[in-house]
Amino acid sequence: MNTRPQVLVIDDDAVVGRSFDRVLSGKGYEVSTALSGEDALHTMENKDFDLVFTDIKMPGMDGLEVTERIKAKCPWTPVVVVTGYGSAENETRASVLGANGFVRKPLTPEMIESVTLKALLDKNAAAKPETAAEAGVEEVSEAVGNNGALKKAGVFAKNAGLFFAAPFIALGYIVALPAVGFYMTAKLGYQAYQKRRQSV
């Protein structure tokens, strides 16, 4: 199983695709290229990608339409728009369509590597809240389970203590009752004696 991050580069200039391949393949990425938006979408039907780079100006489907189509089908896949015709309007539209980045040509090897790394880190960060939430639920469940187990253990210990103490409690009553009876009898006899003396 291939665990290398899969990167797709869409550009009608084959030199651009080779530049990405040359920079990223030595950094542990596997790079695929497509010369058009149509070709890229067809490639994505048969293969999953961790990151997509697309040029804006291409024959047929332009990069912004490609971005829109990819995001509609695979919203979790980061798409970075690359262009030599940068404009605020294109950048805003790319952002609205869900692009994860917008970079201008010419690209240096350092720029290619840093943009790739940032896009993948952003993708992982976006996935973490759900994982953290799931982990939180598991921790709460475990805590509740542990608390329930502790309560059950406490009830069991209390019942066991009462079970073993019961004979001693009963013995205490057996020993104490005659003494209490003797005391009450003596007290009543003394009171009767006092009344008799007072009446004489």
pLDDT in tens, 30-40: 999 999 999 99
Residue 179 vs residue 64, higher pLDDT: 64
- Domains of the chain, start order: 6-136 (3.40.50.2300)
Q: Which residues of 179-191 are buried (b: 16+ CB within 10 A; e: fewer)?
A: eeeeeeeeeeeee
Enter the tokens of residue 104.
Answer: 């201008």
Closest by Cα among 58, 60, 59, 61 to 82? 58
What is the per-residue pLDDT across 150-192, written as a single tens digit (0 to 9) for each? 445 455 455 545 545 545 444 454 444 455 455 555 555 556 6
Beta strand 51-55 pairing with 79-83: parallel
Whole-angstrom Cα distance, residue 133 to residue 84? Answer: 41
Q: Residue 157 burial (CB < 10 Å; 0-12/13-18/19+)? A: exposed
Cβ count near 117 (within 10 Å): 15
Whole-angstrom Cα distance, residue 34 to residue 40? Answer: 5
**pTM for the whole thing?**
0.63
